[in-house]
Structure 1
Amino acid sequence: MGRLGPWTPMTVEERLDRMESPVKIRQLPYRYVPALDSRDMDAVADLFVADVRVGRDASGRAALHRWYTEAMRASRTTIHQLTNHIVDFDDADHASGVVYCRDHLERPSTGHWEVGELQYWDSNLRVNGEWCFRRRKFHRWYLAGALSRPAHGTGVNDGSDPLGARQLPESFPTWAPYRDSADSHPPHA
Structure 2
Amino acid sequence: MVSLEERVARLEARVEIEQLKYRYLRACDRKDPQGFRDCFVRAGADIDYGELGAFAEVEDLVRLFTEIALARREQGHLVLDMHHAVHPQIDFVSATEATGRWTLRFRQLNLAEETERVLCGEYEDRYVVEDGEWRLAKHHFRTLWSLTRPLPEGFRVEEGEFDDVVRG
State the TM-score, normalizing by the size of structure 1: 0.64
Map 1:143-158 → 2, pairs under 5 A: 143-145=146-148
Task: Tell me the residue number matched to 1:65.
Answer: 62
**Residue of 77, 80, 99 corresponding to 1:77:** 80
Q: Please list every run of 5 or more consecutive structure 2 residues that lacks an aligned counterpart in the other structure.
A: 48-52, 72-77, 151-168
Task: Tell me the residue number matched to 1:41.
Answer: 33
Task: Tell me the residue number matched to 1:101.
Answer: 104
**Residue of 13, 26, 29 corresponding to 2:5:** 13
The structure number with the bigger radius of gyration is: 1
Deviations 1:95-120 (A, max 9, x none): 00001111011123322211010111
Q: Secondary structure at the match of 1:20?
A: helix
Structure 2 CA distance for aligned equivalents of residues 146 and 135 of structure 1: 32
Matched, 1:28 2:20: yes
Matched, 1:51 2:54: no
> What RMSD, in angstroms, separates the aligned Cα atoms of the two structures?
2.6
How far apart are residue 15 of structure 1 and its match?
2.6
Q: Secondary structure at the match of 1:142?
A: strand
Q: Secondary structure at the match of 2:23?
A: helix
Contact 2:68 2:79 in 1 (8 A): no
State the TM-score, normalizing by the size of structure 2: 0.72
Structure 1 CA distance for aligned equivalents of residues 111 and 44 of structure 2: 29
Q: Secondary structure at the match of 2:42?
A: coil
Structure 2 CA distance for aligned equivalents of residues 14 and 110 of structure 1: 51
User: AA paired with 1:93?
Assistant: T
How far apart are residue 139 of structure 1 and its match?
1.0
Structure 2 CA distance for aligned equivalents of residues 73 and 103 of structure 1: 18
Matched residues, percent identical?
27
Contact 1:84 1:100 in 2 (8 A): yes
Contact 2:125 2:136 in 1 (8 A): yes
